[in-house]
Amino acid sequence: MNQDQIRHYLQMYLVVGSVNCKASDPITIVKAALSGGVTLVQFREKGADALQGADLLRLALQIQALCRAEGVPFIINDDVDLALEIDADGVHIGQDDENAAEVRDRIGDRILGVSAHTVSEARLAVQHGADYLGIGPIYPTHSKDDAHEVQGTAILCELRENGIHVPLVGIGGITEERAAEVIKAGADGVAVISAITEAKDVHETVVRMKSKVGNTLRER
Ligand SMILES: Cc1ncsc1CCOP(=O)(O)O
Ligand SMILES: C=C1C=NC(C)=NC1=N
Ligand SMILES: [Mg+2]
Protein backbone atom coordinates (compact mmCIF):
# COMPACT_ATOMS: atom_id res chain seq x y z
CA MET A 1 0.00 0.00 0.00
CA ASN A 2 1.44 3.40 -0.87
CA GLN A 3 2.21 5.85 1.93
CA ASP A 4 -0.18 8.56 0.75
CA GLN A 5 -3.07 6.09 0.79
CA ILE A 6 -2.11 4.98 4.30
CA ARG A 7 -1.83 8.64 5.43
CA HIS A 8 -5.37 9.23 4.15
CA TYR A 9 -6.67 6.20 6.05
CA LEU A 10 -5.10 7.40 9.32
CA GLN A 11 -6.88 10.78 9.37
CA MET A 12 -9.95 9.78 11.42
CA TYR A 13 -9.24 6.28 12.78
CA LEU A 14 -11.85 4.52 14.98
CA VAL A 15 -10.61 1.79 17.31
CA VAL A 16 -13.57 -0.13 18.73
CA GLY A 17 -14.58 -3.28 20.62
CA SER A 18 -17.72 -4.35 22.48
CA VAL A 19 -16.02 -3.48 25.79
CA ASN A 20 -15.84 0.21 24.78
CA CYS A 21 -19.52 0.38 23.82
CA LYS A 22 -21.43 0.80 27.07
CA ALA A 23 -23.98 3.49 26.30
CA SER A 24 -24.93 1.90 23.00
CA ASP A 25 -24.06 -1.21 21.00
CA PRO A 26 -21.01 -1.61 18.72
CA ILE A 27 -23.05 -1.88 15.50
CA THR A 28 -25.00 1.33 16.16
CA ILE A 29 -21.77 3.13 17.06
CA VAL A 30 -19.85 1.86 14.01
CA LYS A 31 -22.73 2.79 11.68
CA ALA A 32 -22.84 6.34 13.09
CA ALA A 33 -19.04 6.67 12.98
CA LEU A 34 -18.95 5.50 9.34
CA SER A 35 -21.69 7.98 8.44
CA GLY A 36 -19.64 10.68 10.17
CA GLY A 37 -16.72 9.81 7.91
CA VAL A 38 -14.20 7.67 9.81
CA THR A 39 -11.42 6.71 7.39
CA LEU A 40 -10.25 3.47 9.08
CA VAL A 41 -11.77 1.05 11.61
CA GLN A 42 -9.84 -1.27 13.91
CA PHE A 43 -11.64 -4.06 15.77
CA ARG A 44 -9.96 -4.29 19.18
CA GLU A 45 -11.77 -6.79 21.43
CA LYS A 46 -9.79 -6.66 24.68
CA GLY A 47 -10.23 -6.43 28.44
CA ALA A 48 -12.54 -7.97 31.01
CA ASP A 49 -15.73 -9.49 29.49
CA ALA A 50 -14.32 -9.19 25.98
CA LEU A 51 -16.15 -11.43 23.51
CA GLN A 52 -14.58 -14.73 22.50
CA GLY A 53 -15.07 -17.56 20.00
CA ALA A 54 -18.21 -17.46 17.86
CA ASP A 55 -19.51 -14.22 19.43
CA LEU A 56 -16.24 -12.45 18.64
CA LEU A 57 -16.19 -13.81 15.08
CA ARG A 58 -19.80 -12.75 14.52
CA LEU A 59 -19.16 -9.16 15.67
CA ALA A 60 -15.96 -8.94 13.60
CA LEU A 61 -17.83 -10.07 10.47
CA GLN A 62 -20.69 -7.64 11.14
CA ILE A 63 -18.35 -4.67 11.51
CA GLN A 64 -16.32 -5.81 8.50
CA ALA A 65 -19.50 -5.87 6.37
CA LEU A 66 -20.42 -2.32 7.46
CA CYS A 67 -16.93 -1.06 6.59
CA ARG A 68 -16.89 -2.86 3.22
CA ALA A 69 -20.22 -1.28 2.29
CA GLU A 70 -18.62 2.14 2.84
CA GLY A 71 -15.26 1.31 1.26
CA VAL A 72 -13.50 1.89 4.60
CA PRO A 73 -10.60 -0.44 5.47
CA PHE A 74 -11.20 -2.79 8.39
CA ILE A 75 -8.27 -4.09 10.43
CA ILE A 76 -7.92 -6.40 13.41
CA ASN A 77 -5.93 -5.69 16.57
CA ASP A 78 -3.45 -8.36 17.75
CA ASP A 79 -5.15 -11.45 16.27
CA VAL A 80 -3.40 -12.19 12.96
CA ASP A 81 -5.16 -15.58 12.64
CA LEU A 82 -8.57 -13.92 12.82
CA ALA A 83 -7.49 -11.24 10.34
CA LEU A 84 -6.43 -13.91 7.81
CA GLU A 85 -9.50 -16.06 8.51
CA ILE A 86 -11.93 -13.27 7.58
CA ASP A 87 -9.64 -11.61 5.00
CA ALA A 88 -9.47 -8.30 6.88
CA ASP A 89 -7.65 -5.40 5.26
CA GLY A 90 -4.84 -5.56 7.80
CA VAL A 91 -3.68 -5.91 11.38
CA HIS A 92 -2.37 -3.73 14.20
CA ILE A 93 0.18 -5.29 16.54
CA GLY A 94 1.95 -4.12 19.68
CA GLN A 95 5.53 -4.60 20.84
CA ASP A 96 4.42 -7.63 22.87
CA ASP A 97 2.61 -9.32 19.99
CA GLU A 98 3.96 -11.48 17.17
CA ASN A 99 7.18 -10.11 15.60
CA ALA A 100 6.35 -7.52 12.95
CA ALA A 101 8.61 -9.13 10.31
CA GLU A 102 6.84 -12.49 10.77
CA VAL A 103 3.44 -10.81 10.60
CA ARG A 104 4.44 -9.02 7.42
CA ASP A 105 5.35 -12.41 5.87
CA ARG A 106 1.98 -13.85 6.90
CA ILE A 107 -0.28 -11.00 5.73
CA GLY A 108 1.35 -10.12 2.39
CA ASP A 109 0.58 -6.54 1.34
CA ARG A 110 -2.32 -6.01 3.73
CA ILE A 111 -2.06 -3.02 6.08
CA LEU A 112 0.41 -3.54 8.95
CA GLY A 113 0.26 -1.11 11.87
CA VAL A 114 2.70 -1.35 14.77
CA SER A 115 2.64 0.40 18.16
CA ALA A 116 5.86 2.23 19.02
CA HIS A 117 6.87 4.29 22.08
CA THR A 118 10.47 5.28 21.26
CA VAL A 119 12.62 6.21 18.26
CA SER A 120 14.37 2.83 18.38
CA GLU A 121 11.08 0.88 18.49
CA ALA A 122 9.88 3.00 15.57
CA ARG A 123 13.02 2.37 13.50
CA LEU A 124 12.78 -1.39 14.06
CA ALA A 125 9.08 -1.50 13.15
CA VAL A 126 9.76 0.41 9.92
CA GLN A 127 12.61 -1.99 9.07
CA HIS A 128 10.21 -4.91 9.61
CA GLY A 129 7.73 -3.49 7.14
CA ALA A 130 5.21 -1.48 9.15
CA ASP A 131 2.92 0.69 6.99
CA TYR A 132 2.18 3.02 9.90
CA LEU A 133 3.03 3.45 13.57
CA GLY A 134 0.55 3.93 16.43
CA ILE A 135 2.10 6.40 18.87
CA GLY A 136 0.93 6.96 22.43
CA PRO A 137 -0.71 7.22 24.85
CA ILE A 138 -0.46 10.90 23.98
CA TYR A 139 -2.83 11.83 26.84
CA PRO A 140 -4.20 9.87 29.82
CA THR A 141 -6.52 7.08 28.78
CA HIS A 142 -8.98 4.79 30.54
CA SER A 143 -9.39 2.48 27.53
CA LYS A 144 -6.19 0.47 27.87
CA ASP A 145 -5.36 -0.89 31.31
CA ASP A 146 -1.73 -1.72 30.45
CA ALA A 147 -0.97 1.54 28.64
CA HIS A 148 2.60 2.88 28.79
CA GLU A 149 3.25 6.20 30.54
CA VAL A 150 1.59 9.26 28.99
CA GLN A 151 3.99 10.82 26.45
CA GLY A 152 2.30 14.03 25.31
CA THR A 153 2.73 15.28 21.76
CA ALA A 154 6.51 15.63 22.27
CA ILE A 155 7.03 12.01 21.18
CA LEU A 156 5.57 12.86 17.75
CA CYS A 157 7.98 15.81 17.31
CA GLU A 158 10.87 13.62 18.49
CA LEU A 159 10.08 10.90 15.95
CA ARG A 160 9.87 13.39 13.08
CA GLU A 161 13.11 15.13 14.24
CA ASN A 162 14.83 11.73 14.24
CA GLY A 163 14.00 10.95 10.62
CA ILE A 164 10.88 8.81 11.14
CA HIS A 165 8.84 9.95 8.16
CA VAL A 166 6.44 7.01 7.78
CA PRO A 167 2.72 7.58 8.47
CA LEU A 168 2.04 8.12 12.19
CA VAL A 169 -1.23 8.08 14.09
CA GLY A 170 -1.53 9.43 17.61
CA ILE A 171 -3.62 7.51 20.13
CA GLY A 172 -4.60 7.84 23.77
CA GLY A 173 -7.05 10.26 25.33
CA ILE A 174 -7.59 12.13 22.08
CA THR A 175 -10.70 14.30 22.04
CA GLU A 176 -12.14 16.79 19.56
CA GLU A 177 -10.41 19.61 21.47
CA ARG A 178 -7.01 17.89 21.37
CA ALA A 179 -7.05 16.57 17.78
CA ALA A 180 -5.47 19.64 16.15
CA GLU A 181 -2.42 19.68 18.43
CA VAL A 182 -1.74 16.01 17.69
CA ILE A 183 -1.65 16.83 13.97
CA LYS A 184 0.45 19.98 14.53
CA ALA A 185 3.02 17.83 16.38
CA GLY A 186 3.45 15.69 13.26
CA ALA A 187 0.81 12.94 13.25
CA ASP A 188 -1.03 12.16 10.01
CA GLY A 189 -4.22 11.38 11.93
CA VAL A 190 -5.86 10.48 15.23
CA ALA A 191 -6.91 7.06 16.53
CA VAL A 192 -9.79 7.31 18.95
CA ILE A 193 -11.83 4.99 21.17
CA SER A 194 -13.85 6.58 23.98
CA ALA A 195 -14.26 10.13 22.62
CA ILE A 196 -16.28 8.45 19.86
CA THR A 197 -17.74 5.31 21.49
CA GLU A 198 -18.92 7.30 24.55
CA ALA A 199 -20.04 10.39 22.63
CA LYS A 200 -23.61 11.65 23.06
CA ASP A 201 -23.73 12.12 19.28
CA VAL A 202 -21.25 9.78 17.58
CA HIS A 203 -21.96 11.06 14.05
CA GLU A 204 -21.45 14.74 14.95
CA THR A 205 -18.35 14.04 17.03
CA VAL A 206 -16.71 12.25 14.09
CA VAL A 207 -17.74 15.01 11.66
CA ARG A 208 -16.27 17.73 13.90
CA MET A 209 -13.08 15.84 14.80
CA LYS A 210 -12.42 14.87 11.18
CA SER A 211 -12.88 18.44 9.98
CA LYS A 212 -10.44 19.72 12.63
CA VAL A 213 -7.90 17.10 11.52
CA GLY A 214 -8.39 17.98 7.85
CA ASN A 215 -8.12 21.75 8.43
CA THR A 216 -4.98 21.33 10.53
CA LEU A 217 -3.35 19.06 7.93
CA ARG A 218 -4.02 21.67 5.24
CA GLU A 219 -2.59 24.51 7.41
CA ARG A 220 0.56 22.54 8.28
C1 LIG B 1 -5.31 1.19 22.36
C2 LIG B 1 -4.52 2.28 23.00
N3 LIG B 1 -3.15 2.38 22.83
C4 LIG B 1 -2.59 3.41 23.47
S5 LIG B 1 -3.79 4.29 24.33
C6 LIG B 1 -5.06 3.26 23.80
C7 LIG B 1 -6.48 3.48 24.19
C8 LIG B 1 -7.05 4.68 23.52
O9 LIG B 1 -8.40 4.84 23.93
P10 LIG B 1 -9.03 6.29 24.15
O11 LIG B 1 -9.10 6.96 22.83
O12 LIG B 1 -10.40 6.00 24.74
O13 LIG B 1 -8.13 7.01 25.12
C1 LIG C 1 -2.27 -0.01 20.88
C2 LIG C 1 -2.61 0.61 19.71
C3 LIG C 1 -1.88 1.74 19.25
N4 LIG C 1 -2.24 2.35 18.11
C5 LIG C 1 -3.29 1.90 17.37
C6 LIG C 1 -3.65 2.61 16.12
N7 LIG C 1 -4.02 0.83 17.77
C8 LIG C 1 -3.74 0.16 18.89
N9 LIG C 1 -4.44 -0.85 19.25
MG1 LIG D 1 -1.41 -5.89 21.17
pLDDT tens for 142-152 read: 999 999 999 99
Please give the C-alpha separations between residue 33 and each of 14, 95, 140, 147, in angstroms, as whole numbers: 8, 28, 23, 24
Q: State how far the Cα of 2 lies from the Cα of 6, in Å rounded to an integer.
A: 6
pTM of the model: 0.98
Ion ligand 3, residues whose Cβ is below 5 A away? 78, 94, 97
Q: Which ligand is nearest to the CA of 92?
A: 2
Q: What is the set of active-site residues?
A: 44, 115, 144
H or E element in which residue 189 lies: strand 189-192
22-32 mean pLDDT: 95
Whether ligand 1 lies within 6 angstroms of the CB of 143 is answered as yes
Sorting pLDDT into bands at 50, 70 and 90, what band is 159? very high
**Ligand 1 atom index nearest CA of 173:** 13
- Per-residue pLDDT tens over the stretch 47-90: 989 999 999 999 999 999 999 999 999 999 999 999 999 999 99
Burial class, 173, CB count within 10 angstroms (exposed 0-12 / middle 13-18 / buried 19+): buried
Q: Which ligand is nearest to the CA of 116?
A: 2
160-182 mean pLDDT: 98
**Ligand 2 atom index nearest CA of 94:** 1
pLDDT higher than 90, residue 22: no
Sorting pLDDT into bands at 50, 70 and 90, what band is 23? confident
The ipTM is 0.99
**Ligand 2 atom index nearest CA of 144:** 1
Per the model's pLDDT, the better-predicted residue between 131 and 22 turns out to be 131
Task: Give the chain's mean pLDDT.
Answer: 97
Sorting pLDDT into bands at 50, 70 and 90, what band is 1? confident
List, in sequence order, every residue forming a beta bridge with 132; answer none if it has no partner: 113
Q: How far is the CA of 43 from the centre of ligand 1 (A)?
A: 13
Q: Do 137 and 144 meet the contact criterion of CB atoms below 8 Å apart?
A: yes
Tell the residue nearest (CA) to atom 4 of ligand 2: 134
- Helix, strand, coil percent content, the chain, rounded in steps of 5: 45, 15, 40
